[in-house]
Amino acid sequence: MRKPSASMQSILERLAREDAGLPHPTDVAAPHGRMLALLNNLRWNENLPKMAEARTVLHAGMPSRLVVPENDAGSDAILHVHGGGWAFCSPATHEGAARRLAVACRAPVLTIDYRLAPEHPYPCGLEDCLAAWEACEPDRRWSIAGDSAGANLCLALMLRLLADGRDMPAAALLFYGVYGADFETESYVEQAEGPGLTRAGMRAYWNLYALPEQRADPLVAPLCASDPDLARLPPLYLNSAELDPLRSDTELLVARLRAIGRSDRHDLCRGVIHGFMQMGNALPEAQIAFERVGETFREMTP
């Protein structure tokens, strides 16, 4: 039986105390759900890594957050697409993750405030990601990164760029992504009740984002992409969380990549739940995960 690590269990007990009685964000009106997501993430944005620069900017017409690490190597930059079920979170909720990503990769990270469902369902968020990508300045070599629904949007963005014959990112860093809408995978069944993200929660997120008839579109569910398109993607780094209903999404994607001869790195992060990289100020496994991301990013972008 899969169990949380000791450090993950300690955080789960803390969350049970601090969040007792709070509804799930999808159970309240979207504006209230977003405020819940913001307030719940504030605890992970304490004791932030120091930056050489951290400021709010307007990028492709979207309020965005730029963080530049003190160890910036000067050649690369990362467009960061935050997670949150396509409906919640923001550059503010992911400030800590963006800073840790910047330090690990030795590159500036730009997190965009794309439009959110249900007010703006598919394809609005993807269109914003495309606009943000096109607005990236050519003075750096740009890659992309995203967690959960953000990883979905990153992969969909690359498929859209392929279809349009446009320039691709140098690399993509994809953390515990949602890539399909099959709720009967091994991990959906095994982790249906969590801890953390549940199968019911993911159903609710999908219902906010895309109609059932849209979920066979690779730009909605990238596991539906063709082998030739997957073969043309730039170098990928993928990780998954062991105690996550979405674990199988990444495992299925990795199996597809292996079957067509690709060797993109996949790290299964044991003993942790979905979203664990948000907890970088308190969870050792999150800190280790960022170190692995940085190591792989430098290998992919020499």
CA separation, residue 54 to residues 67, 68, 180, 184 (Å): 4, 6, 35, 42
CA 273 to chain centre: 14
Contact status, residue 78 vs residue 108, Cβ threshold 8 Å: yes
Answer yes or no: is pLDDT of 127 > 90: yes
pLDDT tens per residue, range 179-217: 999 999 999 999 999 999 999 999 999 999 999 999 999
Q: Give DSSP secondary structure letters for 149-173.
A: HHHHHHHHHHHHHHHHTPPPPS-EE
Residues 277-299 have a mean pLDDT of 98
What is the length of the chain? 302
pTM above the 0.85 mark? yes
- Copy the structure tokens of residue 281: 């100020």
Beta bridge partners of 238: 174, 266
CA 137 to chain centre: 22
pLDDT per position as a tens digit, 229-282: 999 999 999 999 999 999 999 999 999 999 999 999 999 999 999 999 999 999
pLDDT at 9 (0 to 100): 98
Q: What confidence tens digit (pLDDT) does each residue in 169-180 have?
A: 999 999 999 999
In this prediction, what percent of the chain has a pLDDT beyond 90?
A: 100
The number of CA neighbours under 13 Å toward the Cβ of 12 is 17
pLDDT tier at 63, thresholds 50, 70, 90: very high
